[in-house]
Structure 1
Amino acid sequence: MDEATEAPPRARRVQGGSATADVVLSAHAGGNAALFPRILALHVPPGALIADVTYGQGVFWQQVPEGLYRVLPSDLATGTDCRALPYADGSLDALVLDPPYMEGLLRPKSATRGGLGSHAGLRTYYAAGGEGAAPGGGRWHQAVLDLYLAAAAEARRVLRDHGILIVKCQDEVSANRQELTHVQIVTGLAELGFYARDLFVLVRPNRPGVARLLRQVHARKNHSYFLVFQKVPPGQSVARYRTRALILRAPGLATGA
């Protein structure tokens, strides 16, 4: 090729955007109420229809501007089991799940049960062997994991394709066994058809106290997790799925068969 016919040099690619340190980070020290709005801002567009199926006292929502999202709050106090939701298939943009995640709250024997004086409704309903016992009769830590997986399967039913599932969890030591709950949930939800889109670590600002410590065997947990999942449409591979923006639909009814 001579000089007259030589191809012009290719334009140099210029990266867009601007330099900044004002970004959402994966690790935070503080409380749920401060971190939760940042998770929503990053992953759920304003106006989304969100069901918080373990709403409790609404701590997560304390710093979320009112009216920014369409929120459907429910929990056992309102008669709603997170594993049997009163919403139509594919009707929700996002769902929030924060069930009891320490197996001590779900033990069938009162003598060894944790959280005495609190979590009474959850304990009675979700405990292994209780009124709403975990599928398969799981006990100890397995009862916790069974609850998460059953609730996630129901979340998949009510979420639209590419919908967002936000899960709060914490690792624990149960029966002298290290249980990395967040890993188990990520693995279990992948099998259900959820892509692990993001992970946040929340570190408590104060040091936890320990009663009657004889000998420490495992590190004391002073952090928990928010896991963000995205519903992979049926027929698509979770392993090949890529993060995609959630485009909102026109408002519609969420309740129904």
Structure 2
Amino acid sequence: MQSHDVQDPVYTVHVGDNSGLIKKVSDLYFVDGDKVADVTWGRGVFWKQVDKSKYDIIGTDLKTGVDFRNLPYEDNSFNHTVIDPPYARITNLKGMVDCYNTTRHTTHDEILGLYRAGLKELVRITKPGGFIFVKCQDEIHGGKQKWTHIEIHDMAVEEFGLYTKDLFVLVNTKKPKPLYKQQHARKNHSYLWVFQAKK
């Protein structure tokens, strides 16, 4: 009987950073030679720990002249796709504005609108059976909890017919301190949805 190497288990909770999580998840779902579109590339931090020689990773964002809401790709042209739009409503970070088309006054509904427009395009360009990675985080808006990861799940399933393959929780090792009197627990985790396109 031939023995096969068994990779280390991939767990639903990862403590660390995005690059460590993406390495584990891509090792779990991708195969050598897969073509992957990361449509919110930024500085490419997702892929720092991934052996990029194994995959054809195409990274774009507004700084490269590509808006994830209107992608220049043919239908079903990628094995897998990745999106990580800004999930912080309020930002002064110039890089966020330049790469992702958000401003200091972006509302929660506008953030969801970015996800909706991006998902529509990713569904179009992802091959049947391919995986769509969606990074998100819940937030407080108007003093009320907004369970963004649930809203995105419902959007993906009900509006786009995607299958929910997995949900990963990324725990940030940095402990952000509240800058104001707390009324809710400070969030030190985010989510990575893995959806699968219809086969």
Provide the alpha-carbon RMSD of the alignment. Answer: 2.2
The normalised TM-score by structure 2 is: 0.91
Q: Is the 8 A contact 1:89 1:159 kept in 2?
A: yes
**Which runs of 5 or more residues in structure 1 are unaligned?**
1-16, 105-113, 130-138, 234-257
Q: Quick one: distance in 1 between partners of 2:24 and 2:154?
A: 25
SS of the residue aligned with 1:68?
A: coil
Partner residue in 2 for 1:217: 183
Partner residue in 2 for 1:164: 131
Q: Quick one: distance in 2 between partners of 1:28 and 1:193?
A: 27
Indicate how the Cα distance of structure 1 residues 122 and 56 shifts in structure 2: closer, same or farther if over 3 A, else same. Answer: closer
Partner residue in 2 for 1:77: 63
Partner residue in 1 for 2:165: 197
Structure 1 stretches of at least 4 aligned residues deviating more than 3 Å after TM superposition: 125-129
Q: Quick one: distance in 2 between partners of 1:184 and 1:23?
A: 29
Greater strand proportion:
2
Choose the corresponding residue for 2:36, options 44, 50, 69: 50
SS of the residue aligned with 1:119?
A: helix
Q: Quick one: distance in 2 between partners of 1:229 and 1:203?
A: 20
Larger-Rg structure:
1
Partner residue in 2 for 1:142: 109
For 1:115, the aligned partner's letter is N
Partner residue in 2 for 1:23: 9
Partner residue in 2 for 1:232: 198
For 2:26, the aligned partner's letter is L
Q: CA deviation at 1:65?
A: 1.0
Q: Is the 8 A contact 1:91 1:160 kept in 2?
A: yes
Q: CA deviation at 1:119?
A: 2.0
Partner residue in 2 for 1:121: 98
Identity %: 39
Q: Is the 8 A contact 1:173 1:179 kept in 2?
A: yes
Indicate how the Cα distance of structure 1 residues 117 and 126 shifts in structure 2: closer, same or farther if over 3 A, else same. Answer: closer
For 1:166, the aligned partner's letter is F
Partner residue in 2 for 1:68: 54
TM-superposition CA deviations, 1:127-174 (whole Å, max 9, x none): 599xxxxxxxxx610000110011001111111111110011111001
Q: CA deviation at 1:59?
A: 0.5
For 1:37, the aligned partner's letter is K
**Which runs of 5 or more residues in structure 2 are unaligned?**
none
Partner residue in 2 for 1:186: 153
